[in-house]
Each structure stands twice: as structure tokens, then as C-alpha cells.
Structure 1
Amino acid sequence: MANKNQFELHDSRLGTVDEKGHRVYLFPEEVKGFWRTRREIFYWFLIFFYLILPWIYIQGEQMILLNIPAREFSFFTYKFYAHNAPILIFVILGFLFFIGFITSILGRVWCGWACPQTVFITSIFLKLEALIEGKPRQRKKLNDSPWNKEKIIKKSLKWIVFTIVSLHISHTFLGYFVGTHHLVSVSFQNPAENFTLFSIMLFLTALFLLDFGWFREQFCIIACPYGRMQSVIMDDNSMAILYDEKRGEPRRQPGMKPNEHGDCINCYACVKACPTGIDIRRGVQLECIACTNCIDACDDIMVKTKRPKGLIRYDTQSNMEGKGRHIFSFRNIAYLIVLIGLLIGFIFSVSMSQGITTTVLRGPGTPFRVQSDTKTLNHFQIVLEQSGDIKTHNVKFAIEGVDKENYEIKMQRNPFEFTTTHKRQNVFIVFDNSILEKGSRKFTFIITDLDTNKVIKKEAVLVGPTK
């Protein structure tokens, strides 16, 4: 049986699929209002932050740089290395539990206000699509029409513009990992000279292009795990976008008099404005990304029909049922306690890394080089860093665990001056093969700060031929 209204769907059917399970492309109506204005301002702040941040340098260092090959991570003048894994774990877990804490109080505010999927699609891709193809109804008409000259031109132009935008987004994303200055320099080189980086750029561009330009709401509905976690994180005291059934029901039906129905006039403005095609009047749903479009669309109708705003609003299920709202439930407090614990752990880990800290890394390339029948060379990189007040330190390297006559340290200077926040010192050790046991020998680097007499010991391993 056909539905009375195309927006009146069976409870078990999504608005993004037809009766045969084929995808229904959505063209959400544009809305204006209190929440949309504030979201757009916040969206553009996030976009500006994303695009500008990797170009900010402090003391010659990129503010945020995640240099995975070098195992070096820079955050606002502070550097983390592979040995700082506990600090990075605190950061990652802190972010996850912060999202959980915020969700337990404010619901899916991440999806509606900060998720890159929502931000880029709403602020850039939908705006460009409207500029080229027109308003939602015009876009739907164009999409349903047979291929003709107008459709080919508009669709081609749209995807060309989408590709340019996706290229910019992907290059900025790479800038966080390879460095913006390096990225600019390789952009003017032959792609074959940086084939791996070029391939990653093409993959990211294609990913952003298909996701933001075509897949869109399907990612939120099908692929995103966050929507499926909300039922675990949220409870009746969590904020959500809710429809006030007491005010709205019964909805207006044809032939009803004004005093026979609630405030909901069944105009479907909330459904038409939804980017995931749901009817918010069915209650909290996995597909809802809390974008507030339905609130502004409904408030606009309420103003026109001279009814109070807030038929659809931010509220809690508990408050809707007249039980009031309890902000700090057991769930909220549990998330908060974990967050505080992670913060304390992070501060403690950072404080323990103050002053001169060192990391011993094996040099790039082969693990050892045979110098002669009896001699082998190992290459190490000693990473030194200092935080707080940057001072000049005279540093000397030595090793213990191997007899002096069986090895030689080769460096440009030893001792040497350490005057920056970060220094990667190359150290070469030439040793007699006789000290090896089954191709290896443990030893200890002795790193001495001659100005403070502070001694740092780091274990390492010499490797060489097994015979």
C-alpha cells in the first residue's frame, strides 16, 4: 500500500532507502535560526583552525607535527618521542573519555558540532553544491532528470570543484604528518621522486571526495561506530534533541479543527531539513547526529503559526517526563573520575620528563656495517631534548659494559654543546667482533651533563655478524 506522504515511513525503514532497499539521495532543506547561526560560526572556526594550525611555527618548529617515520611528535613546542608512549596514551585515552563525558551530559554534541564529516559537508560541500546546482528542490529535480547538456555541465563543474577542495583538505592533512614546508617543496617536484607521499595524497583526496561529496550521511548511518555507542554512553539525563509529545500530539490531520490537534501541524519541516532523513518525532534514533536543523525548522513554523517555540528542542528524556534533570548521575561521575585520573597521570608523566631527557635510537639503514674482518660499525642517534628555560649544556658521551680497548666512539665533537629544545646527535661505535655473543652485545650509554654533573644511563645493544 502506498504511503499517504513520502515522508511518512514505516518504523522499520530508513529515510535514505526506498521500499526495495535502494539508496534515496537526500536534499535537506536549508534552515536559518538560532542554532544554525551558532553552528556555522563554530564550523568556520574549526575549519580555520584546521587549515592554519600546521602553518604556525614557534622557534622554527611546527606547532603540531606527527612525524611518524622519525617517531617524533610535536605539540605546541613540546616534543614527544617513541619512548613517551605513556604520555601519548594519556592524551588518546583522555580524548576518548572526554568525548564520553561530554556525550553523557550533552548527548551527540560531537556529531552535530565538531565531527569533520558534519563540518566539511555542511559548511563547504553543500554550500558549493547549492551554488552550482541551486536550492534543494532544484537539485532534486536535476538529479531525477535525464542526462542532458545542463545536467552534464553542472554535475561536471560540481565534481571538479569538489576535487579541488578535497585536494586542499588532503594536503593540509598531510602537512600535519610530513611538515608543511617539506610538503610545499615536494609539491613542485616530480611525483615519481616522492611516489609514496604522492600515492597517499591521491588516496586521501579520493577518500575525502567520495565521502564528503557522495557517501555523506551513509557514513553516519552505516560506518560510524559513535552512533552505536550512544546507547551505552547516554541515559535519560543526557541532553538530546527531542520532540515534545505532550505539546505536539495529536498531530494535525486533514479535516481537523484547530482545537482538535496539538501544536504539531504535521508539516514535515523537521524531516525535510534532516541531513540523515529521520523523523525526530519518533524519538532518539541512531541516525540522529544532533545537528539542530529540525529545531530551527520547527521553531520557524511555530512562529508562523503563532505558537511557542520549543516543540522540538534540546532537553533530557527525564525532564520531558516531568522528573527533572540530574546533571551528575553515576555515569557522569564515573567518566569525570577517569578523566581526572588521566589528567593527573599526564601531568606527572610530563613533569618527570623535565630537564634534559634522552632517547637512544638505532640509526637509519642497515643495523651494522662490516669495517674489516675484525671490526664492525653501529650507528646510533641520541635524541636530546630540554623543556622549560632553555640553557646551554655541555654534554659528553661514553659507554660502559665493554672494555675500552675493544671499541671507539666516533663523533664530530665529544663533549659538545646542547643549546636548543631538541637535538639529534649521531654516534658511531666501531668495535671488535670478538665482544659479540651470537651477534649481539648489551652495553650502556653514559650521557653526562658536565654543567650539572647529571648522569643519564641508557641501555642499548651492539649488533654484528654472527660469525
Structure 2
Amino acid sequence: MSGTAAPPGVGRRVLPTLNEDGSRRWIRPKPSHGKWWRRRQVVAYLLMAAFFAAPHLRIFGKPVFLMDLPRREFTLMGYTFLPTDTLLFMFSLGSVVIGIFLVTALWGRAWCGWACPQTVYLEYLFRPIGRWFDGGYTQSRALDKQGAWFTPRRLGKYLTFFLLSLFVSHTMLAFFVGIPQLYGWMRGSPADHPSAFFFVVLFTGIVWFNFTYFREQTCLIVCPYGRWQSALIDRQSKIVAYDYVRGEPRALGAKNRDPHAGDCINCNACVQTCPTGIDIRNGLQMECVHCTQCIDACDEIMTKIGKPTGLIRYSSQDEIAGKPKHLLRLRTILYPIVLTLLGGGLVGTMYVKKAADLTVLRGLDGPFTTEADGRIANQIRIKITNRRGADMAYRIVLDSLAPANVAPREVTVVLPENPLTVQAGDTRITSAFVLLPPRAFTKGERFITINVSDERDYRESVTYRLLGPTSSAAGSFK
């Protein structure tokens, strides 16, 4: 519960978005267009532009971002991750997680206030449009008090939010299927792609519900990040903080003030502008998303009354208390070390990654079979994944098939398709059949070499163990 205690009765705040009687407390923050607002506005519109443009952009002929679930491929910045890239995925995911931990340790909830899609779209797209339809901040609050939820202007707002949600959901779908596929579906009947159509309907409903009704409650109730901050930050981390040393004790008004009063005039401008409805003067709170609106609101008031700005500012709990700064702390040392190791592992793994993935598997019908002429047949399944951006033909050559005591005419290799053509980013499996006399095996095995090469510079060799009869059985072959 934030703010001073309210008298008992209906309307008393229990949570920022909940009154004591259980009714919804609608938060209509008064925008404060200061320097921090303008900086965040630039970042927000750049992020929105990147989101809407990304499905249309390509690098090296591949999408900037594409999560192709049917083919189990993930493309990022022109590089395609395949199901076999478990190590790459682990390094990438670990780097993102540790990176967020490091940012939080240094600058608090910078992600929430500056880059989180919930904050970006709510504060710089949906709320400004909503205020325009309602007639501004004051008129929005007046309509709430009147319970006028279905006026013509508000119905127009809901319709506009729906169209925006529809656009966002189609853009999101493009990240999973690609722009060409999306445009094809949009021109066809929903019956031709029911799963994709259901996704768009569901996601559009979720986005519309979130930004029309649920709004800041997503940050307060659904998102766990606010609850993590107690473990991710320390007293040296930069946060949006109220300087209680300078501001207390509070005194109402700017004129005829007690000379012992602090700079805070208890105007509540910081509370009116807060998008989650808290009072920043109550200290670090889970609901604070570090949007800096309270900084802009307070700086404007301080300028009007002739006081220095910065009563609310980016600072740390120790700095406010007058304690020295310590950039080097356990978490600011440990996180960069782990991040460097993960980043190095990611770069190193990508550097040694070949242009194709080669996997050699044993046949499905048993280890070997004996043919009518007495020779031993082994089936080898060769799986090739083409990582290049173009179709490739792979030539397969088998070496070291038989010892010197086996004549070439006794050795047969059957490759139904050689070279094997594999489309860009695709995976194909072909079978090779090797027939050898029993005396070619020593203690029931024979090691051969499988060489695979493409039309460019890819070369790879794999040692494979053929299976056959033991030496006692081999003697029966003539």
C-alpha cells in the first residue's frame, strides 16, 4: 500500500489498482513531457519501428528473425539455428539472461522502463491514442467517475485498439511463418490455414484485452520481474529514487514554508504521473517500472518553485544515504565474467561450425544381413543438413572397405542417390549399402571411412564401424 493512510471506507486503496471494496481503480497517469520522457520516446519509436520492419528485412538472403516451428529452425540476424545447435542455443540464452542480470545490477529495471514491449506500447501507443479519444487527461478521469464506458468516443477508441492489436498479431505471426507465407494466407480463406487463423484471433484478443483493460496490471500481477529485483539489485544499483534526505520533512505549498522543511512540497505530481499508481517517496517498490515519469514531473515542480532539480532522480540507495559508490562489487564482477565466458563460447562454437551437419546412423533392419551369395550387407543411413543459403549437392565416398585379401570384385557399394542434393536449410537422409565377404571382418567388425563433400569448400570424414560375423563364421565363405 502506497501513500498516506486513507480513512476507512469505500475507496480506500488496498493495491495500486484495487480499492478496498474490491473495485478496479483505473489509473489515468498525467503525462509529464520532460527530458526523460523525450529520450524514452525516441527509444520506444525506434523499437516499434524495428519490430514492424524486422519481418520484411533480410540478411544474406535470410530473414532477420524467423522462428520456423514446422521445420524446427530459428533464424537470427541471417544465421539459422537448427535442432542440432543445442550448444549454440544454450550459449545464446545464457548470454541474454546474464546480460539482463548485469543491466539490472547496474541500472535497476532499465529493461522495464525503456525496452519492455508492455511499457513501450502502452505508454507510447495505446495510452496516447486513448487520451486523444477521451479528450485528454482530465476528461478521461471525468468519464471514469461518470461510469461512461461506452460513449461514441470510447467505442471509437476500442475499435482503434482492436485494429492496432490485429496489426500487431499479424506482425507477430510473420516472425513464425515469414512475410511471403503470411501474405499468401491473408489473400486466401481461413479454412485453408485454420491453425494460423486461430493464432491471429487468439493473439489479437490477448493484445486487445491487455492494452484496453488489463494494462498496468500485467506488470503488477503477471510479470515476475518486479519480484526478482530484490535478488538482482543491491544498495549500489542505480534506481529511480526519491532523495528523502533533501525532501523530508514535507511541507505543503511553496510559500511561507518552515525553514526546517524539506524541498518536497507534497504536491503529489509524482503520484499523478505514475503509470502504476505508486508513490515513489515510499522507497523502492515492486510496482515501480523505472519509467522516469516521476523524475520529469518533480523536476518541473522544482523549477517552478526555484529549487534544484533532482529531488527524484536516478540514484542508488547508498548514494541517497550519503555512502560512497562502489562500482566493483561481487555481482558487477561475477556477471561480466560469466557473460564473457558465454559470449566466447558462442563465438567459438559458431566459428568452428561447419557448413553442413553430417550424422551417420545404422540401418533400421538389424546390424547386418547375409545375402544369398554369402556376403554380408550393412545398411548405412547418412543424414546431411545443409546450412548454406543455397541448394547444395553432396558427394559421398566410402574408403577402407576391405583388407588386401579381399578382391575388388567382392566389394559392392550401392548409393541410390550420389551426389545427394539438399535444399538450403533442409535435411535429407540417404542410405548406402555395403556388401563384403565375411573374411573382411575381424572379430565381427570392419572400420571404414565415409567422406562427404559439397561443391564448395565443405569436407568432412567420419569413421564408421561395419558389423559382421565372427571369425569362426567367416571361414565358411569360399
Task: Specify the TM-score bucket, using the shorter chain as the normaliser.
Answer: 0.7 to 0.9
Q: Contact 1:236–1:316 (CA<8 Å) still a contact in 2? A: yes
Deviations 1:114-171, CA, capped at 9 Å, x for gaps: 00000000111001101211212211211222458xx431222111111111111111
Residue 318 of structure 1 contacts residue 324 of structure 1 at CA under 8 Å; is this kept in 2?
Answer: yes
The alpha carbon displacement at 1:229 in A equals 0.4
For 1:346 and 1:185, the matched residues in 2 are separated by 36
Shift of 1:20: 2.0
What residue in structure 1 maps to residue 344 of structure 2?
344
SS at match of 2:287: coil
Greater CA drift, 54-63 or 79-88: 54-63
Aligned length: 426
Does the C-alpha gap of structure 1 residues 267 and 397 become closer, same or farther in structure 2, counting only changes over 3 Å? farther
Q: d(CA) in 1 for partners of 2:454 and 2:194?
A: 45
Whether the 8 Å CA contact 1:240–1:316 is kept in 2: the answer is: yes
Partner deviation per Cα, 1:303-347 (whole Å, 9 max, x = no partner): 111111011110011111111211221111111111111111111
Q: Over the residues paired in the alignment, what is the CA RMSD in angstroms?
A: 3.7
Instruction: Identify the residue that residue 18 of structure 2 maps to in structure 1.
Output: 17
Question: Does 2:220 correspond to 1:221?
Answer: yes
Deviation at 1:428, TM superposition (A): 5.1
Which shows bigger deviation, 132-141 or 298-307?
A: 132-141
Say if 2:278 is the partner of 1:278. Answer: yes
CA distance in 2, matches of 1:428, 1:448: 12
> TM-score of the superposition, structure 1-length normalised?
0.81
- Equivalent residues of 2:253, 2:265 under 8 A apart: no
| Matching residue of 1:312 | 312
Pair 1:187 & 2:150 matched: no
**Unmatched tracts of structure 1, length 5 or more:** 362-366, 369-376, 433-442, 460-467
Name the counterpart of 1:440. none
Aligned in 2, Cα 1:206/1:450: closer, same or farther, shift over 3 Å? closer
Q: Establish whether residue 448 from structure 1 lines up as the match of residue 452 from structure 2.
A: yes
Say if 1:453 and 1:302 are closer, same or farther in 2 by CA, change over 3 A. Answer: closer
TM-score by length of 2: 0.80
Partners in 1 of 2:349 and 2:142 — Cα distance? 59
What amino acid maps onto 1:272 in structure 2? Q
Deviation for aligned residue 1:219: 1.0
Deviates more, 1:246-255 or 1:224-233: 246-255
Amino acid at match of 1:271: V
Task: Give the secondary structure class of the aligned counterpart of 1:259.
Answer: coil
Whether 2:34 is the aligned partner of 1:33: answer: yes
Instruction: Give unmatched runs, 5+ long, in structure 2.
Output: 366-378, 402-409, 435-446, 465-478
Instruction: Describe the superposition over 1:243-271 as per-residue Cα deviations: whole angstroms up to 9, x where unpaired.
Output: 11121111114798313421111010000
* 3-state SS in 1 of match to 2:460: strand
Deviation at 1:22, TM superposition (A): 2.4
The answer to whether structure 1 residue 382 and structure 2 residue 381 are counterparts is no
Give the partner amino acid of 1:309: T
Is the alpha carbon distance of 1:450 and 1:250 closer, same or farther for their aligned partners in structure 2, counting shifts above 3 Å?
Answer: closer
Report the CA distance shift for 1:355/1:134 in structure 2 as closer, same or farther (over 3 A).
same
Partner of 2:234: 235
SS at match of 1:111: helix
Q: Tell me the residue number matched to 2:419.
A: 415
Question: What does residue 3 of structure 1 align with?
Answer: 6
Q: Is the 8 A contact 2:43 2:114 kept in 1?
A: yes
Secondary structure in 2 matching 1:258: coil
**Partner deviation per Cα, 1:412-457 (whole Å, 9 max, x = no partner):** xx22577x8x35354455989xxxxxxxxxx999451177693344
For the residues of structure 1 that align with 2:290 and 2:399, how far apart are their CA atoms? 60
Secondary structure of the equivalent of 1:74?
strand
Aligned amino acid, residue 242 of structure 1 = A
Q: 1:450 to 1:16 in 2, by over 3 A?
A: closer
Distance 1:409 1:93, change over 3 A: same
